[in-house]
A and B are shown apart, each in its own frame.
Chain A
């Protein structure tokens, strides 16, 4: 026979776990929304892509024309 003692403490622990869980989920959602907004409004973005960044190279004749 399984022991099933539902003490008030279990409710309180559940409320705590639920609260922390929901707070974390909300935080994840917020970071995602922030990322989307930052990418959309960030203007020109330059990511490192295993090749020299063109904007960092000294101007050549070709590019200055």
Chain B
């Protein structure tokens, strides 16, 4: 009896375990892109309102992460990448994850609607619903296109940031959404090409498994071709400018080359050099997205000094 008590104590959560429930790394991306959306908007926002809006968007994203960990505890326990998460490792009970997820969702949506405006709050509510219900509960275990449609959840933050400032939706905010949305498939499938095994065990349909690696390579190139016009298109809107266009031109040429190289190879060549090209494309995809949003941020900063823009 006393033995079980000791092991229960060992598994009791510290504050860090609850924080890990909110997926802090995803949260940092959300904070950055929401901030860019907010700063790039043509309407200025009071710093306190801006700060609290970004915080509530981040809490909303964290809440959807907690809901995801509640629902996916069974498959997280099977995959090497996720087995150390708080719920599968036993430090946080699945019910606790659900309670925290629901409570923080409600709090963040209501507070964002009050701090900024109703549209921003509604967009955040939709994002949480989309990630927790549409992606996690329905798409993820059902279709290999899961990450394509699920990527929309990760693409909403700049649109919410824009809505915080302007109270509306515009070409610019839709294009910022489309940038992350179109970027997700090549980014994720490049990863899936060299991370073998995990998803098979968990029975999650991954394109590499359901349709084979050749089809996945075709998809990487196809979505990259669709991504390029979106990324370049932003350069010609009110949030673009010379700096953005220069950065986007270089990045898109590199990304196209990388996707083309991945497409051209077959599995034997990839095995031979340990998926060097696929890994390179994945690494490039990380800086690709970050630098595009950074360039939008630079343009916005330049504009506040009367420089940049068109």
Chain A contact residues, CB within 8 Å of chain B? 7, 9, 12-13, 15-16, 18-20, 30, 33-34, 36-37, 41
Instruction: Check if A30 sits within 8 Å of B52, measured CB to CB.
Output: yes
> Is the C-beta of B49 less than 8 angstroms from some C-beta in chain A?
yes
Interface set, chain B 49-82, CB cutoff 8 A to A? 49, 52, 55
Q: A37-B48, A41-B46 are in contact. Are A30 and B55 (CB under 8 A)?
A: yes
Residues of A within 8 A of B48 (CB): 33-34, 36-37
In the bound complex, what is the Cα–Cα distance between A33 and B46 (angstroms)? 11
- How many inter-chain contacts with C-beta < 8 Å in the A-B complex? 32
- 7 closest residue pairs by CB, A with B: A19-B15, A12-B14, A37-B48, A9-B9, A16-B15, A15-B14, A15-B15
Distance (whole angstroms) from the CB of A37 to the closest CB of chain B: 5
Q: How far does the alpha carbon of A48 sit from the alpha carbon of B182 in the complex, in Å?
A: 50
Are B52 and A18 in contact (CB-based, < 8 A)?
A: no
14 further A-B pairs in the complex, CB-CB below 8 A; given A30-B52, A37-B49: A7-B9, A9-B9, A9-B12, A15-B14, A15-B16, A16-B15, A16-B18, A19-B15, A19-B19, A33-B48, A34-B48, A34-B49, A34-B115, A37-B48
| 30 A-B pairs in the complex with CB atoms less than 8 angstroms apart | A7-B9, A9-B9, A12-B12, A12-B13, A12-B14, A13-B12, A15-B14, A15-B15, A15-B16, A16-B13, A16-B14, A16-B15, A16-B18, A18-B15, A19-B15, A19-B18, A19-B19, A20-B15, A30-B52, A30-B55, A33-B48, A33-B52, A34-B48, A34-B49, A34-B52, A34-B115, A37-B46, A37-B48, A37-B49, A41-B46
CB neighbours (8 Å) of A12 from chain B are 12-14
CA distance A19 to B14 in the complex (A): 9
Alpha-carbon gap, A55 to B55, bound state (A)? 36
In whole angstroms, how far apart are the Cα atoms of A16 and B19 in the complex? 10
Whose C-beta in chain A lies nearest to the C-beta of B53? A34
Query: How far does the alpha carbon of A9 sit from the alpha carbon of B12 in the complex, in Å?
Result: 8
Considering the chains assembled together, what is the distance between the CA atoms of A7 and B12 in angstroms? Answer: 13
**Which residues on the B side are within 8 Å of A7 (C-beta)?**
9
**Using Cβ atoms and an 8 Å threshold, which residues of chain A touch B55?**
30
